Amino acid sequence: MSKRERCWICDSTGPLSKEHRVKRSDLQDLFGNVSAEHPLYLHNDARRNQRIISLKNDRLKSGGPICISCNSTRTQPHDEAWTKLSRALRRRLPYMKAGQRFSGTNVFAPDTRRQMLNVHLYFAKLFGCHIADLNVAIDLSPFRRAILDSVAHPGLYLNFGFGLTDGGEPHVGTSDIELVTKSGANTILAATWFQGVANLSVRVTFADAERQRLKSLADAWHPDRGTSLRIVDYTR
C-alpha cells in the first residue's frame, strides 16, 4: 500500500489540493480566459507545446500536496497580497530603472508591514510545495512554522526585477531549483528559483544561517529589512 499523502503544512490527510506554480490571478491577467478556443501552450522539461484549455489544469500546479483548508482559508491573505503586489509591480516596472526602489507603501499603506509579510508567506507556501513535490533535502519545518504562526522564515529572501526571457519571449512560469551544496555532502546551503510573470521576475532564495550573511543577498528583500524593494535587471 502506498503511503497516504498528507498536507505538508498541517499534516492533515485531506481533502488535498495543489498550488498553482504561477498564481491563477496572474495567469488570468496575462492570458484572459483560457478555453478550447483560446488555449495556452505550456513548455517544460518533459514536453513543449502542451495545450492547456483551462487554468484549473493540474499541469499548471506544483505537485506538493496541501489540504484545501491550508490552500484556501489559511493562506488566502497571502495569495491576495501577492495578487496586489504583482499587479502593481507589473504596471510600474516599465517606468523604472534597475537599482531604483519600489516601496510597499504604494500598494499596502497603512497595513504595509503585515501585507508584505503576507507576500513573503505566499512564496513560503509555493517554495514548500516545490520542496515537498521534488523531495529536495531542505527542512520544511521553518516553512511550515512561518505559515502556521504568521512569522517570517529566517532564510527566505526575494528579489524583484525586470523579466527574464525564454528565447526572446517573456517568461511565465517557474524555473528549476538551483541548489548549492557543501562539497562531498548532501547538505543544501542555498537554493534559488525564479518565478516569471511576463515583465516581472521574482528570484526566490533559501539560504542557511551561514549564507544569510552573504553579499549576494544584500539586495534581497526579507520582512526584517523593511518594506522597500530594490529593482534588479534579470534581462541581461
**Which chain residues interact with Zn ion by CB under 5 A?**
7, 9-10, 12, 67, 70
**Residue closer to Zn ion, measured from CB, 5 or 178:** 5
Classify residue 141 by burial, with Cβ atoms within 10 Å: 0-12, 13-18, 19+.
Answer: exposed
With CA atoms as reference, report the closest residue to 24 among 73, 93, 76.
Answer: 76
Residue 125 and residue 9: Cα distance in Å, rounded? 8
**Residue closer to Zn ion, measured from CB, 12 or 165:** 12
CB-facing half-sphere around the CA of 119: CA atoms within 13 A: 30
Q: How far is the CB of 124 from Zn ion (least distance, A)?
A: 14
**Residue closer to Zn ion, measured from CB, 10 or 232:** 10
Residue 122 and residue 76: Cα distance in Å, rounded? 9
Q: How far is the CB of 121 from Zn ion (least distance, A)?
A: 14
**Residue closer to Zn ion, measured from CB, 9 or 40:** 9
Per the structure block, which three cell numbers stand in for 12?
A: 492533515
Residue 153 and residue 140: Cα distance in Å, rounded? 10
Q: How far is the CB of 164 from Zn ion (least distance, A)?
A: 32
Residue 127 and residue 74: Cα distance in Å, rounded? 16
Residue 169 and residue 163: Cα distance in Å, rounded? 10
**Residue closer to Zn ion, measured from CB, 67 or 146:** 67
Q: How far is the CB of 123 from Zn ion (least distance, A)?
A: 18
Residue 83 and residue 157: Cα distance in Å, rounded? 18
Q: How far is the CB of 113 from Zn ion (least distance, A)?
A: 26
**Residue closer to Zn ion, measured from CB, 144 or 222:** 144
Q: How far is the CB of 70 from Zn ion (least distance, A)?
A: 3
Q: Tell me if the bond preceding 110 is cis, omega within 30° of 0.
A: yes
